[in-house]
Structure formats: structure tokens, C-alpha cells
Amino acid sequence: MRIGVGFPGCREGTAYPVGFVRPEDLAVVARRAEELGYYSIWSNDHLTTPHGVSATQAEIPNFYEPVVTYATFANITERLRFMLGVITLPQRDVVLLAKQIATLDRLTGGRVMLGVGLGAYREEFEALHPRLTGAHRGTMVEEGIEGLRRLFRDERASFTGRYVQFAGVELAPKPSQRPFPIYVTAHASSGLERVGRLGDGLIVAARSPDQTRREWAAVRRAAEAHGRDPGALSLHVQTWLAFGETAREAEERVLRSQHFRRMAAGDRQRTDEERLAEYHAGNLLGTPAAVAAQVKAFRAVGASHLGIILLADSMDELLADMEVFARKVVPTIG
């Protein structure tokens, strides 16, 4: 199983408080990830502040656009993969996104990994596209995936859908990876069916190993039902991690994190203990030895790529935890 580390560029207000990220630190994280042997860095995607984030912060979070940010690392890394986990496809212009991804893939020698999805916050989509209030984002994702595939594949690409349209577009250069894989995030049954029908792999986030196993099985069944080879698809898991010298110390780290404050702001009905139990079910927590056992549970259900978002109070702590995971966890998971 390959291991990636969560990249902080677009995580202020979600995993980290405002002011956590300094521009000069971003290249440091990328270089250090490669030095420590991580396979990838994982970035997410926000174009404006969701309500659930702004409710917990007095200032506006800094969201560094992930494709542009990754482009700045093309010549300072050699092996590190750039996982976009995930691009919120309904918010993006498909032709422009295809041009950005193809360019970045060529500049990095085929090191781009593209994940797409609906997006966790509908209000973010509607703030960006008020004329599309009420639009069916699932259809937008499906049309976007088909549009991207045609642009990456065809010499002159055209597509006419309900939301996505373009005609006779000559996209060059093409990506280095041919065909170019597109991974899709999903949890609901309709989304899992979409992954099996259209995607090259499934991305899940903050799900327990048992939930992950069930959802992965649903994707494979859908792929087979649509005449596709389930064995050609891959499973990618994003999970959050809080280290501690004891389980309780790790729990306290979760409780004081911006990630937990955001969870609480969106769910006032449950207690901190209930939310902590939910965190524990789908994420990593504890000593390096305990975390290694939890990682093995994800590998056992078929995950081939794990993205670890480290809960930290400072950039120095994040870099230190990257080293702890690389030195003390990775060697023990085989």
C-alpha cells in the first residue's frame, strides 16, 4: 500500500486554523515528503469559504489553489505524486481544468493523480454559480468526467450535455499518462454506482475499514454490471491522524483541533464524546504502534493508496509528525 501525506495548502479552516499556512512553508512540505519517502501529497479544493468553516474562524481562510500550487513543485521534486483529492468538478470549467491537468502532467512527467467529486458543501457551489442553484451536481460530475476523457483522448474533442458543452477543442499537449486515470469520491449508493460505471478508482474519506469494505464492494459490483473489469479499479483512502504518547493524549489532540471544531459546528446535536467516537471509527489515533495496526486494517480491505492528514497545531509539529509516521509507522506495516 502506498502512503501519501495531506498537503496543507487548502486546509486552513478545515484541518488547521487561519494563519497556519505560510507560503514559504508549502515547498518545504513537498520537499520533505519526498525526502521521507512518501508516495504522494494530497490536496483538496475550495474556491470560497463554506459556512461550516467560517462559523469557527474570525478571519477568512487562505485557500491556495491546488493545481497552481502543485505546478510550483514540478522542478523541486522528482518522484512525488501530486494527488488532487479531490477537485470539486461542478465548480470548475471542464476545458480549463483539462488544460491545467494536462499541462501539469506533462511538466511533472506523469505524476498527477486526479480525483473528482461533488464537493462537501453545496452552498460553496451555489455561491460560485448562483444561476445554477438547484442544479443536479451528480449529472455535472458525470458530464465533467466524460468531457475530461474526450479532451485528454481526442484530437478534436466535442461534447454536448445538460451542463457541459464544448465543440472542436484541440487540447495540446495531452497528459503524459495515456489513458489518463480519473478517480471519483463517493459514499452514497448513487455515487458508488457512478464510480463503478465511470471511474478508474474510488476515493473514500473518514470511513471505517468496514464501511470502506462495503463501499468498495459496491463499486466493484457496479463495474462488473456495466461490463468493466473490477480488477482495473483502485481504492484510495483519505484519513485523519492524531498522534499521542497515549490514546488519551491523542484524543485530546483531536478535541483541540480545528478539524474537530469544524465537525462540532456542523453537528450541534451530539456530544464531544459521540463525535470523538465517530472520528475514531474512520480515522487514525494513538501511538505509532496503535496507528500501524489501524493502517493495516485499511490495507486488509483493499486500499492501495492511503492519504494521511496530520492534525497539528503548527507547521513545525506537522513536519515532525510526517517524520514520525515515516520512521515509526511505515516500516512496521510491511
Q: What is the mean pLDDT of residues 222-248?
A: 98
Upstream peptide bond of 8 is cis (omega within 30 degrees of 0):
no
Q: What is the pLDDT of residue 239?
A: 98
Name the more confident of 257 and 52: 257
Upstream peptide bond of 17 is cis (omega within 30 degrees of 0):
no
Q: What end-to-end distance do the CA atoms of the chain give, in Å?
A: 9
Report the SS3 class of residue 2: strand
Q: In the predicted model, is pLDDT for residue 185 greater than 80?
A: yes
Q: In the predicted model, is pLDDT for residue 267 greater than 80?
A: no
pLDDT, averaged across the chain: 96
Q: In the predicted model, is pLDDT for residue 277 greater than 90?
A: yes
Structural domain of residue 58, as residue ranges?
A: 2-332
Least confident interval from 221-225, 236-240, 330-334: 330-334
Identify any residues that bridge with 240 across adjacent strands, giving them in sequence order: 309
CA–CA distance, 115 with 92 (Å, rounded to integer): 13
In percent, the amount of the chain with pLDDT more than 90 equals 94
Q: In the predicted model, is pLDDT for residue 55 greater than 90?
A: no
CA–CA distance, 212 with 294 (Å, rounded to integer): 13
Residue 116 confidence class, pLDDT cut points 50, 70, 90? very high
Grid cell 488547521 in the structure block, residue: 16
Residue 122 confidence class, pLDDT cut points 50, 70, 90? very high
Q: What is the mean pLDDT of residues 51-76?
A: 94
Q: What is the pLDDT of residues 248-266, one digit of tens each?
A: 999 999 999 999 998 888 7
Which of 229, 227, 205, 230 is CA-nearest to residue 217?
A: 230
Q: What is the pLDDT of residue 265?
A: 84
Give the number of domains in the chain: 1
Q: What is the pLDDT of residue 254?
A: 97
Interhelix angle 137-153/94-107, rounded to 10 degrees, is: 50
Q: What is the pLDDT of residue 223?
A: 98
Assign residue 161 the CATH number of its domain.
3.20.20.30
Interhelix angle 23-35/315-324, rounded to 10 degrees, is: 10
Q: In the predicted model, is pLDDT for residue 268 greater than 80?
A: no
Q: In the predicted model, is pLDDT for residue 334 greater than 80?
A: no
In percent, the amount of the chain with pLDDT more than 70 equals 100
Q: What is the pLDDT of residue 51?
A: 85
DSSP class of 327: I
